[in-house]
């Protein structure tokens, strides 16, 4: 119990500056798997004599675990439920946001290592912090701006493109980075210039260099960011149309027919097609502001990638 009390004391003083390598483990002392499983099985009730603010400190540590039960089943699931139920206080959420923005930098640029879990799931939980701020604002302008800058930098810098592993579960760095930008694009705190930067960040991940083809919903998640950015009604139609046209250009391939000469070329073609088709579906189903103006340009771009 003494070890647990020390963890809670640190939490009470603020844990915004703690990074992945400094945090307490989510499994230790009385907080074993059965402890967290008991919370889930009780309808996510906070145990008597405990606080969601304090327990969140330990749950954040779960986000970096390669064990999918700890990371996804406990860390993500419990934190999300508590955030949405309003059980974590605004001061604690501010500390959580500050800590998670730092986590986005840990090991960034690596490929195929377990550091991706801490980055990816920190982005996912940050998206829940921003969701809460959209519904009931609590982040100061500088705090919100720090999350925005961290989210933009993370999506651009993430090089581990894996989506799912049969043993370790969801990895989803790109999808979770997109989820964070989706929430940021939905916020009234982002302006026209911010939305343009968000869409440029999305464009940079639509078809990244290399041989990786998105097959775990990443293209849909990236397209959702664009949908919500468009629906804000702040972006100029001509700017968005040019953004779509640029996405459909073959770039490093020279021409799309060259895609069939390499695995990397096929991946670029596949990923670009997947994104544009997802965006088309979203525009037709959700009918955001400016959809009617954009659809002709989008369809022209999609048709330019259909090669016979």
Using pLDDT thresholds of 50, 70 and 90, give the confidence band for residue 17.
very low
Unique residue bearing structure tokens 């991706």:
116
> At residue 174, does pLDDT exceed 70?
yes
Unique residue bearing structure tokens 């999350």:
147
> At residue 3, does pLDDT exceed 80?
no
Q: What is the mean pLDDT of residues 7-23?
A: 34
* Predicted local distance difference test score (pLDDT) of residue 308: 60
Alpha carbons 224 and 251: distance in angstroms, whole number = 24
Q: What is the CA radius of gyration of the chain?
A: 21
> At residue 14, does pLDDT exceed 80?
no
Percent residues over pLDDT 70 in the chain: 92
Helix (H) or strand (E) holding 294: helix 291-304
Tens digits of residue pLDDT in 73-87: 999 999 999 999 999
Q: What does DSSP assign to residue 198?
A: H
Alpha carbons 213 and 28: distance in angstroms, whole number = 39
To the nearest 10°, the Cα dihedral for 218, 221, 223, 228?
-170
> At residue 2, does pLDDT exceed 80?
no
pTM exceeding 0.75: yes
Q: How many helices, marked H, and strands, marked E, lie in the chain?
A: 14, 2
127 CB-near residues (< 8 Å, 6+ apart): 176, 179, 180, 182, 183
Helix (H) or strand (E) holding 218: helix 218-231
């Amino acid at each position: 119990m003494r070890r647990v009390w020390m963890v809670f004391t640190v939490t009470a003083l603020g844990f915004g500056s703690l990074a992945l390598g400094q945090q307490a483990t989510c499994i230790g002392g009385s907080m074993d798997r059965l402890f967290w499983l008991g919370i889930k099985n009780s309808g996510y009730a906070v145990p008597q004599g405990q606080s969601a603010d304090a327990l969140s400190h330990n749950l954040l540590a779960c986000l970096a675990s390669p064990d999918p039960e700890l990371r996804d089943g406990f860390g993500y699931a419990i934190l999300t439920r508590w955030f949405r139920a309003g059980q974590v206080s605004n001061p604690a959420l501010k500390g959580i946001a500050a800590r998670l923005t730092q986590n986005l930098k840990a090991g960034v640029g690596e490929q195929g290592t377990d550091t991706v879990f801490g980055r990816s799931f920190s982005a996912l939980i940050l998206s829940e912090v921003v969701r809460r701020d959209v519904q009931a604002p609590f982040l100061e302008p500088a705090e919100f701006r720090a999350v925005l800058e961290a989210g933009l930098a993370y999506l651009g810098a993430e090089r581990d493109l894996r989506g799912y592993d049969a043993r370790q579960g969801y990895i989803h760095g790109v999808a979770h980075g997109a989820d964070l930008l989706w929430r940021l694009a939905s916020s009234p705190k982002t302006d026209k210039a911010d939305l343009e930067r968000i869409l440029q960040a999305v464009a940079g991940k639509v078809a990244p260099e290399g041989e990786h083809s998105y097959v775990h919903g990443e293209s849909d998640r990236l397209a959702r960011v664009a949908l919500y950015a468009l629906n804000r009604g702040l972006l100029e139609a001509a700017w968005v149309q040019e953004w779509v046209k640029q996405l459909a250009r073959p770039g490093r391939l020279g021409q799309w027919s060259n895609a069939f000469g390499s695995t990397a070329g096929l991946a670029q073609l596949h990923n670009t097609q997947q994104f544009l088709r997802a965006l088309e579906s979203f525009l037709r189903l959700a009918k955001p502001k400016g959809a009617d103006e954009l659809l002709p340009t989008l369809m022209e771009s999609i048709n330019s990638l259909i090669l016979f």
